[in-house]
Amino acid sequence: MFKGLGDMGDLSKMMEAAQQMQTKMAEMQEGLNRLTVTGESGGGLVKATATAKGELTALDIDPSIFRAEDKEVVEDLILAAVRDAQRRAQDKAAEEMARLTRELGLPADMKMPF
């Protein structure tokens, strides 16, 4: 198509590959909304569930920890569970991005936006 550009000369193939990558990225983003992770603290007394994009979707607190004198401990356990869920969400998102870059044949260290 364009003389002197060698393998890069086929613009239609490049556009098709870019469109395929864009489609796969959109599918992955949608998948991250469906994947969930659960963070825990206090040996499972507090559990926080989030999507792989980090949106908190549920909080489960064992009723045995509801005593007025333990208020600060409960608050700390909730924060720890939420942070654990957020960390797990980031890890899951990174795993999914690595899988996508492998599938597309891109370098493993290539940074793509979310």
Q: What was the pLDDT predicted at 44?
A: 92
Q: Does residue 66 lie within any of the structural domains?
A: yes
pTM of this prediction?
0.58
Cα–Cα dist 12/15, whole Å: 5
Residue 73: which domain range? 35-104
pLDDT tens per residue across span 17-61: 778 888 888 888 888 888 888 999 999 999 989 888 888 888 888
Q: Does residue 56 lie within any of the structural domains?
A: yes
CA angle at 48 for the pair 45 and 54, rounded to the nearest 5°: 160
Number of domains in the chain: 1
CATH of the domain at 50: 3.30.1310.10
Q: Does residue 83 lie within any of the structural domains?
A: yes
- Torsional sign, CA 103, 95, 36, 114: negative
